[in-house]
Structure formats: structure tokens, C-alpha cells
């Protein structure tokens, strides 16, 4: 995702630049333009007939912290299942992955997965990419202490917009690491576009190592998004506080509740915020009245059959795919190569 001008939306990214801060985190240089674009995007989502907030706005510092709590919940199987797969099959994975001088992790989060991967593969350079700037800074600082021999970079960026890699990053070979089944947040056309751009980023001698949440019993999937401790509900509601900060709106979280369910037709978990009372939300230059029971769509999480995802990879230019999975076949880690 980066100074090969990687942009999963297909936009040219005109006017977008990156700068290197003293802490070593690369961040957008034209902040005024980025802020205006972000406000316009959020307001447009709120004004459309079926209101929506992009899931990327879950991830302010508080949202990132809540997601870390979610990954440790008993109902949330993806993180621990993926971790077990990575640990159990570390040796065959390492033997299958092309020798990579650079590992690029998309949606790096707390960089814990990167630590284990880098200890196994021993790359010369690692690039962490995440939308939460402050959280990324903390994670990368910790990773540098843990892996002092690795050249560790950070790019604070949104996968849905133009992103650039540091200009001096080693070119080849590269392994793009995209764990956690984050690909599930994109609908099929968006996922294909993103995978196609990752294919160009990896190059003919590179590869993609990606986590994929597989289709399974509905009650297992729904429980993962409706935990008994209410952490996912807090995570979903926190998006309203983040939007208030970003656009100056006045959402009252007490007027909304978390709602998540499996949509069998689309093969996806949907997360929504549902109004518990009639409420009017204002923002500079506009407002919207929400009726009781009206929803704001905040996230989709698609669940794949293994063969369907392999077909998607092939359409994106990854003609070879190898899969490791858990004993229940709930989750898969796939190595895809051209």
C-alpha cells in the first residue's frame, strides 16, 4: 500500500502527499484537504436514505482499545483461531513463503501478529499500516524495542484512500500480510479491487498472506458480534462519539443501541446502530431526524466458503493459493502467489 501509490478505491490520489514525522510515522501532509474530505464523506453517509457510517470510523484511540478487548472475548473466535493456525503451521508457512526482504502489514493494529511473523520470517524491513495514528505510533514504538534488528516503518493511512509507501523502502521481494479477515469488511467488488492492487504491490516475486473468516453455523457467527459483556456494543456506539469529534455533530449514544445479525442472502454479518427513540442529530450546515427503530449501517463482515475466496484471489491475479485452517474449518490462513 504505498509509494507504489496503492489506492484500493481506484482514485488517483491527486494532491495527497506523505510526510515523515519525528516519531517515524508517515502521515498525510495535506491535512486540511483530508479533513474536509472526511467530513464530506461522513455527512454524505448520514444523509443517504439508508444512513451509514464507514467502519473505519470505529478506530479512534478508544475504538482501537475496545477492539483489542473484543479480540480477547470468549465469543470472538477469529483472533484466537487465526493465532493457533499461525502457531501450529509456522514451519510449513515459513517454508512456503518466498524469502521476503520486506513485510507490509495492512491494518497492523497492535502489531502483535507482526511480531510473531517477523520472528519467524526475519525480514530486513517491516511496514505497519493502520488508520489509527496515535495507536499505530504506540504499537510501532513497542515493536521497535522488541525487534531492534529490523528496519520498522509506519504509515498512518486509510485503506480506502490513496496511500504511499516510504520512498526508500526496499522494492523486492515483498510479502503483504493482511490478517484478521479484515478483507471481510469489503463487499465483493471492493474486495476484488483491493486484492488486485495488493497483487500489483506484491509484484511477480512477492506474495500475500491473508486471514479469511469462513462460513459456519449462524449461532457461532452471531455470538461473535453480540458478546455477553457488551464490548462489541460499546465499540459500535463509540463510532458516534468519534463522528461527533470529526464533524461537530451531536449524536447522543444513549439514544442508540447495538444491533448485529447474519444476513444469509449476502453471507455477511451486519452491524447497525438502531435508534431507541425519535431523535434529531445536528451537524454544521445540516441535520437529520431519525425515527425510533431507524438504523445506521456501520459494518459488514462477509463470510466465505474456501473455494469462493480462492476464486476471488485468482480473479485478482493470484493463481496459486495454499490454505491452512483449524480443525473446525472456522478460519483459514491463505498464502497467495501469482
pLDDT of 323 > 90? The answer is yes
pLDDT of 229 > 50? The answer is yes
Domain that holds residue 202: 18-33+61-217+306-337
pLDDT in tens, 5-63: 333 333 333 232 233 333 455 555 556 776 888 899 999 999 999 999 999 899 898 99
Mean pLDDT of the chain: 87
Whether residue 125 sits in one domain with residue 100: yes
- Could you give the angle at the alpha carbon of 8 between the alpha carbons of 34 and 11, nearest 5°? 55
pLDDT grade, residue 297 (50/70/90)?
very high
Dist CA 158 CA 256 (whole Å): 27
pLDDT score, position 301:
97
Residue 134 maps to a domain? yes
Please classify residue 179 by burial: count the beta carbons closer than 10 Å to its beta carbon, then call 0-12 exposed, 13-18 middle and 19+ buried. Answer: buried
Whether residue 253 sits in one domain with residue 148: no
Residue 147 maps to a domain? yes
Residue 3 maps to a domain? no
Cell output for 306: 474456501
Residue 233: phi and psi, rounded to 5, are -60, -45
Could you tell me the sign of the dihedral formed by the alpha carbons of 88, 186, 247, 261, in that order?
negative
pTM: 0.83
The structural domain count of the chain equals 2
Amino acid at each position: 500500500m504505498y509509494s507504489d501509490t496503492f489506492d484500493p478505491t481506484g482514485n488517483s490520489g491527486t494532491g495527497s502527499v506523505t510526510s515523515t514525522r519525528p516519531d517515524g510515522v508517515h502521515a498525510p501532509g495535506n491535512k486540511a484537504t483530508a479533513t474536509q474530505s472526511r467530513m464530506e464523506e461522513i455527512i454524505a453517509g448520514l444523509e443517504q436514505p439508508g444512513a451509514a457510517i464507514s467502519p473505519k470510523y470505529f478506530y479512534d484511540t478508544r475504538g482501537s482499545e475496545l477492539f483489542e478487548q473484543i479480540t480477547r472475548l470468549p465469543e470472538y473466535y477469529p483472533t484466537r483461531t487465526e493465532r493457533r493456525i499461525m502457531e501450529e503451521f509456522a514451519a510449513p508457512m515459513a517454508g512456503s513463503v518466498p524469502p521476503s526482504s520486506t513485510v507490509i502489514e495492512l491494518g497492523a493494529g497492535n502489531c502483535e501478529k507482526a511480531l510473531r511473523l517477523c520472528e519467524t520470517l526475519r525480514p530486513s524491513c517491516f511496514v505497519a499500516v493502520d488508520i489509527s495514528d496515535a495507536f499505530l505510533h504506540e504499537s510501532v514504538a513497542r515493536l521497535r524495542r522488541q525487534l531492534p534488528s529490523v528496519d520498522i516503518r509506519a504509515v498512518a493511512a486509510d485503506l480506502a484512500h490513496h496511500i504511499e509507501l516510504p520512498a526508500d523502502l526496499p522494492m523486492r521481494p515483498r510479502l503483504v500480510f493482511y490478517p484478521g479477515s479484515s478483507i471481510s469488511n469489503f463487499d465483493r467488488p471492493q474486495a476484488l479491487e483491493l486484492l488486485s492492487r495488493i497483487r500489483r504491490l506484491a509484484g511477480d516475486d512477492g506474495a500475500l498472506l491473508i486471514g479469511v473468516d469462513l462460513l459456519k453455523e449462524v449461532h457461532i457467527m452471531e455470538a461473535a458480534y453480540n458478546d455477553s459483556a457488551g464490548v462489541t456494543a460499546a465499540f459500535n456506539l463509540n463510532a458516534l462519539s468519534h463522528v461527533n469529534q470529526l464533524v461537530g455533530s451531536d449524536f447522543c449514544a444513549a439514544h442508540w443501541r447495538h444491533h448485529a445479525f447474519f444476513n444469509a442472502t449476502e453471507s455477511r454479518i451486519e452491524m447497525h446502530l438502531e435508534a431507541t427513540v425519535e431523535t434529531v442529530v445536528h451537524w454544521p450546515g445540516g441535520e437529520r431526524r431519525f425515527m425510533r427503530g431507524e438504523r445506521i449501517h456501520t459494518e459488514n463482515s462477509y463470510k466465505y466458503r474456501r473455494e469462493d475466496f480462492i476464486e476471488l484471489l485468482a480473479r485478482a491475479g493470484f493463481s496459486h493459493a495454499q490454505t491452512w485452517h483449524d480443525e473446525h474449518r472456522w478460519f483459514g490462513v491463505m498464502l497467495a502467489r501469482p
